[in-house]
Chains A and B, each alone.
Chain A
Amino acid sequence: MNTLFDKIWDAHVVQHVADGPDQLYIDRLYCHEVTSPQAFDGLRRRGIRPLRPTRITCMPDHNIPTLHQDQPISDPVGRKQVETLAQNVKEFGLTHYGLMDERNGIVHVVGPERGLTQPGMTIVCGDSHTSTHGAVGAIAFGIGTSEVEQVMASQCILQTKPKTMRITIDGVLGRGVTAKDLALYLMSQLTTNGATGYFIEYAGEAIRALSMEGRLTLCNLSIEMGARGGMVAPDEVTFAYLKGRPEVPQGEAWDKMVEQWRELRSEPDAIFDKEIHFHADAVTPMVTYGTNPGMAIAIDGTIPASATESDKKALSYMGFHEGEKMLGKPVDYVFLGACTNGRIEDFRAFASIVKGRQKAQHITAWLVPGSWSVYRQIEAEGISDILTAAGFELRQPGCSACLAMNDDKVPAGKLCVSTSNRNFEGRQGAGSRTVLASPLTAAAAAVTGVITNPNDLL
């Protein structure tokens, strides 16, 4: 007890249901177009309206094209889903950051950058990567559509309280090692279900040193270890990031909020159900070689022997063999973006490698900012000029090739080095093969055309 997680959770319990879950009050519900239509239908069927509409923010992100967003979406089914969201928010009086709205983007990029996501909050969305928002010191987790409907109807959710896990990373991350590599390293150590049933707090010197963008990347990937969510206690980095954002209090009210937020930390005598320690020295640039994110190795490592039928199936799908090196494997596609790595720092990192170099001729590269705000900053900082000079094209924001619900699909058999979050079979398009990596490693592959250690180019 006395953990940051317990403090926030306990402050939001409306009631403990006898021999059942807790009824938890929810401060923010985010909705996108894919997992919300059936929830809105449910409200209509029951003849009710959202209980607290001001706590709900909606935006389309999964289906939207990354070129010509000013024109109608060519896929009629995807278009209908985006239009259905627009109709639903109108009918129910909710906030909507629609297509071509300067506030639009991937929900997990937009929430923090607008300051809608704040320390101490409970935040849910019908999307597993809602864990991202924990980076500011919030309890944030993904839910199903029935639960989206629950929250719309009651501003509450019934949830069994997860166990708590603290992962402490001592030391300093080395050159060319990013928050993404740290997350892939943790997944490789804990496996893809090593944190199932837990909520993670990340702590230690290496976490404190991470920027807000880095913390968002790390918390985003908590779900890939099976955790409901991950969080970082708010500190000066958090407050500096949030200060002045459109949806946070300003002036005296801000100072008062910050004073409250400073209390949001695990006490020195806090007891976690599980404690794990790692040292930053052990982390190098990482890549995945299989079909779940836990199948990750150091970029200069060799593919390990298969322990199970599932491992063998994964290698067979990827066309890789145990004992092979990942370095030097030919790459066809590169994807920079997603709620994992679609923020300004990720584009700065990518640009730092491609600056003064050229995209390898055979590589198709999709560079997709996480939001219009990121897009504008890329332009303002001159990063777009660097990218253009190196032969890259900046696309318009959205989830894009992370799950290929729009036109950005990797063809069957092609290998994509991707900064997204999942390397599942067919995730980036039926038959596509995904290698998860950091923006630096993606950039190194984009200019050399093969899997390359970014430290060779930095």
Chain B
Amino acid sequence: MKQPLTILQSSCVPLPLDNIDTDQIIPARFLKATDRKGFGDNLFRDWRYAPDGTPRDFVMNDPTYTGSILVAGENFGCGSSREHAAWAIADAGFRVVIARSFADIHRQNELNNFVLPLQVDKDFHTALLEAISRDPRATVTVDLPAQTVTIDATGQTAHFDINGYKKYCLTHALDDIDFLLENKDKIENYETQHCSTRR
């Protein structure tokens, strides 16, 4: 699970719809597992397969499009807080999701699974989709230390935001619990000052 992410060059899988909710990313009937494995097979399950298992006309079934970068539209990952959505994305081999915007909980879930939610503006988003439509194998370079994303064919580059703490976690494969467990004294100090009774 904990894989560092620094610089990634890859072609993209375009799914530029708005408001893709986590029920589409991983339908509720697949949330019954008690471990984190195997969710990738059911990523976008009902968009990928008909009820009888026949593949539908869907970008992930089209061998033209491959790579470890998923490109979505506005408000990616809205709805349920299910981290299974981020597990499915990671398990299917994606390391970066480029979108116009992300829902808050899902954004955090991606980060906690070492998948980078990369928000870009409309111009860059349009240019990226055009590049992919011109050449489905068009690659993008994501440079996390430099916080830049580049369409390699045109050289068009954009800066993206990520807080310094999470950037460090991603580039060094550290998670929040590692950090919090190192800060136990601060937690106990807080409780001494603020929690008169242990509720």
State the A residues within 8 Å of B (CB): 11-12, 14-15, 17-21, 23, 25, 27, 34-35, 37-38, 41-42, 46, 48, 51-52, 54-55, 62-63, 75, 77-78, 80-81, 84, 126-128, 130, 141-147, 149-150, 153-156, 158, 160, 162, 192-193, 196-197, 223, 226, 228, 292, 308-310, 313, 403-405, 412, 422, 424-427, 430-431
Q: Which listed residue, A78, A424, A431, touches B79 by the CB 8 Å rule?
A: A424
A residues in contact with B74, CB < 8 Å: 193
A154–B191 Cα gap in the complex (Å)?
12
B residues in contact with A20, CB < 8 Å: 163-166
CB–CB B28/A144 < 8 A: no
Q: Which listed residue, A12, A55, A78, A427, touches B32 by the CB 8 Å rule?
A: A78
CB–CB A126/B35 < 8 A: no
A197–B180 Cα gap in the complex (Å)?
24
Q: Which listed residue, A38, A149, A412, touches B177 by the CB 8 Å rule?
A: A149
B residues in contact with A426, CB < 8 Å: 23-24, 27, 46
Taking CB atoms and an 8 Å cut-off, the chain B residues in 30-73 that contact chain A are 31-36, 46, 51, 73
Q: Which listed residue, A18, A55, A146, A196, touches B83 by the CB 8 Å rule?
A: A146
Taking CB atoms and an 8 Å cut-off, the chain B residues in 10-31 that contact chain A are 17-19, 21, 23-24, 27-29, 31
CB–CB A430/B46 < 8 A: yes
Taking CB atoms and an 8 Å cut-off, the chain B residues in 68-105 that contact chain A are 73-75, 78-84, 86, 101, 103-105
Given A127-B81, A310-B19, verify A142-B105 contact (CB < 8 Å): yes
Given A21-B165, A430-B51, verify A144-B186 contact (CB < 8 Å): no
Given A192-B19, A310-B73, A430-B46, verify A403-B28 contact (CB < 8 Å): yes
Given A20-B166, A226-B103, A292-B19, verify A37-B81 contact (CB < 8 Å): no
How many B residues touch A, CB cutoff 8 Å?
Answer: 55
A409's nearest neighbour on chain B, judged by CB, is: B29
CB–CB B23/A427 < 8 A: yes
B113's nearest neighbour on chain A, judged by CB, is: A146
A-B pairs under 8 A by CB, number? 184
A18–B94 Cα gap in the complex (Å)?
29
A41's nearest neighbour on chain B, judged by CB, is: B35
Given A27-B199, A144-B112, A146-B113, verify A126-B81 contact (CB < 8 Å): yes
A residues in contact with B198, CB < 8 Å: 52, 54
23 residue pairs bridging A and B, Cβ less than 8 Å apart: A17-B165, A18-B165, A20-B163, A20-B166, A23-B180, A23-B186, A25-B190, A37-B35, A81-B34, A128-B80, A142-B105, A145-B83, A147-B176, A153-B180, A154-B184, A154-B187, A156-B187, A193-B74, A404-B29, A422-B23, A424-B21, A424-B23, A424-B24
CB–CB B187/A14 < 8 A: yes
User: Smallest distance from the beta carbon of B158 to chain A beta carbons, Å?
Assistant: 20
A12–B193 Cα gap in the complex (Å)?
11
Q: Which listed residue, B18, B109, B186, B194, touches A146 by the CB 8 Å rule?
A: B109
User: Smallest distance from the beta carbon of A185 to chain B beta carbons, Å?
Assistant: 19
CB–CB A425/B46 < 8 A: yes
Q: Which listed residue, A17, A35, A38, A48, touches B35 by the CB 8 Å rule?
A: A38
Taking CB atoms and an 8 Å cut-off, the chain B residues in 142-182 that contact chain A are 163-166, 175-177, 179-181
Can you add 8 more A-B contacts, CB < 8 Å, to A38-B83, A130-B81? Answer: A20-B165, A20-B166, A21-B165, A37-B35, A153-B177, A162-B104, A223-B79, A228-B104
A118–B145 Cα gap in the complex (Å)?
43
B residues in contact with A46, CB < 8 Å: 177, 181
A35–B81 Cα gap in the complex (Å)?
9
B residues in contact with A75, CB < 8 Å: 32
B residues in contact with A158, CB < 8 Å: 165, 176, 179-180
Given A144-B112, A405-B29, verify A23-B51 contact (CB < 8 Å): no
A405–B17 Cα gap in the complex (Å)?
26
A residues in contact with B29, CB < 8 Å: 404-405, 430
CB–CB A196/B104 < 8 A: yes
A42–B1 Cα gap in the complex (Å)?
12
**List of 9 A-B pairs having minimum Cβ-Cβ separation, nearest first:** A20-B165, A19-B164, A144-B83, A37-B34, A142-B81, A146-B112, A144-B109, A154-B180, A193-B75
Given A193-B78, A426-B46, A431-B51, verify A150-B180 contact (CB < 8 Å): yes
A130–B194 Cα gap in the complex (Å)?
24
User: Smallest distance from the beta carbon of A207 to chain B beta carbons, Å?
Assistant: 23
Given A158-B179, A193-B101, verify A54-B75 contact (CB < 8 Å): no
The answer, yes or no, to whether B108 is at the interface (CB within 8 Å) is yes
A23–B78 Cα gap in the complex (Å)?
24
A192–B103 Cα gap in the complex (Å)?
10
Q: Which listed residue, B81, B86, B101, B194, touches A143 by the CB 8 Å rule?
A: B81
Given A11-B194, A228-B104, A310-B73, verify A63-B32 contact (CB < 8 Å): yes
A126–B198 Cα gap in the complex (Å)?
23
Q: Which listed residue, B34, B179, B181, touches A80 by the CB 8 Å rule?
A: B34
B184's nearest neighbour on chain A, judged by CB, is: A154
Given A19-B163, A142-B81, A153-B181, verify A425-B24 contact (CB < 8 Å): yes
B residues in contact with A27, CB < 8 Å: 199
CB–CB A51/B19 < 8 A: no
User: Smallest distance from the beta carbon of B135 to chain A beta carbons, Å?
Assistant: 22
B73's nearest neighbour on chain A, judged by CB, is: A310
B85's nearest neighbour on chain A, judged by CB, is: A144
Given A150-B176, A430-B51, verify A128-B81 contact (CB < 8 Å): yes
A26–B79 Cα gap in the complex (Å)?
23
B residues in contact with A160, CB < 8 Å: 163
A54–B198 Cα gap in the complex (Å)?
8
A residues in contact with B186, CB < 8 Å: 14-15, 23
Q: Which listed residue, A23, A37, A226, touches B75 by the CB 8 Å rule?
A: A226
CB–CB A14/B190 < 8 A: yes
User: Smallest distance from the beta carbon of B22 to chain A beta carbons, Å?
Assistant: 9
